Homo-oligomer: A and B are copies of this chain.
Amino acid sequence: MGSLADALARTRAQIEAGLRARLAPADAPTPFEEALLHAVMGGGKRVRPSLTLLCAEACGAETGTDSDALRAALAVELLHCYTLVHDDLPAMDDDAERRGQPSVWAKFGEDVAILAGDRLQAMAFGCLADCRRAAALVAPFAQAACAVVDGQVADLATAKRPPETWDKAALYGIYDLKTAALIRLACRLGAIAADAPAPLQRALADYGREIGLAFQLVDDLLDADQADAGEGLNAIRILGTDEVRRLAGRHTQSALDALAPLPGGAPLLRAFAQTLLTRLA
């Protein structure tokens, strides 16, 4: 068992190779494939699909090139990338940059960005279709794909209401759908791909939800140091720094507790949850 950093370097390389092979199988990508590559190969940390692989491994599964676990991981990342492409659109968050590069619409046009996002979602389901356990994987995936959209809808609707009406329930409603649903899915699919028994599938789904919430709260704490802090809906504004820090710790603890049924205590997943919190240090 290597360190978490070693494991994440390995999973990231696996995922990047898998994504590239799916997105542009030939040597010379078409212009639209260039847009897909730009959308997906832009240097993300691959947190979500790495969780899929680590969860599958924690359940004892192989995660090689031909595994359901890797295909499910690629599906999770493609879904995540499609939401980023559509979120950046002028009619949504109107972001012309992402990770220091022009966003897809800024570089290729809005029409191409809409179509690229649409195709990435279709390709995500295509990855699952190639799995031996496709039937078991598609339902939770489709559910989470709906939840992510619902989270965005709830976010937009809440932002249009007066800030004095924003409360913890609204915040958690949005964070559960927008952020935690996909990280929960990533972990759950790893367990399903590993053909793990139902209690392990539930344990890893719970783990995923809790680290998803912790992840979003930590993000808000880190953003609070930035110039545009406090604009829009965020946990700091509603709950204050101290309470958000306390909640992030509590969700991390719940994530660790959820791992109890895992064989061997799942040290990499424990380390992963703890590392999220230490981003604050």
Contacts and interface: CB of A to CB of B under 8 A. Distances in A.
Interface in A127-145: 128-130, 134-135, 138-139, 141-143, 145
B119 A150 contact: yes
A114 B89 contact: yes
Contacts of A152: 115
What DSSP secondary structure best describes chain A's contact surface?
Answer: helix
Interface residues of A, number: 39
B119 A91 contact: no
Nearest to A149: B119
Nearest to A91: B110
Given A92-B114, A129-B139, 15 more contacts: A31-B157, A32-B153, A82-B118, A89-B114, A92-B111, A118-B149, A119-B149, A122-B146, A123-B142, A125-B125, A125-B138, A128-B138, A129-B141, A134-B134, A134-B138
How many copies of this chain are found per oligomer?
2
A111 to B, nearest CB: 5
Given A125-B125, A139-B126, A115 B32 contact: no
Contacts of A145: 122, 125-126
Contacts of A117: 118
A142 B129 contact: yes
A156 B111 contact: yes
A121 interface: yes
A48 interface: no
Nearest to A122: B145
Interface string A100-112: 0000000001111
Contacts of A134: 134-135, 138-139
Interface of A: 31-32, 82, 86, 89, 91-92, 109-112, 114-115, 117-119, 121-123, 125-126, 128-130, 134-135, 138-139, 141-143, 145-146, 149-150, 152-153, 156-157
Nearest to A142: B126
A126 B111 contact: no
Contact of A126 (B82, B123, B146, B156): B146
A86 B118 contact: yes
30 contacts: A32-B150, A32-B153, A32-B157, A86-B114, A86-B115, A91-B109, A91-B110, A91-B114, A92-B114, A111-B156, A112-B156, A115-B149, A115-B153, A118-B118, A118-B149, A119-B150, A121-B121, A122-B145, A123-B142, A123-B146, A125-B125, A125-B142, A125-B145, A128-B138, A128-B142, A129-B135, A129-B138, A134-B134, A134-B139, A135-B135
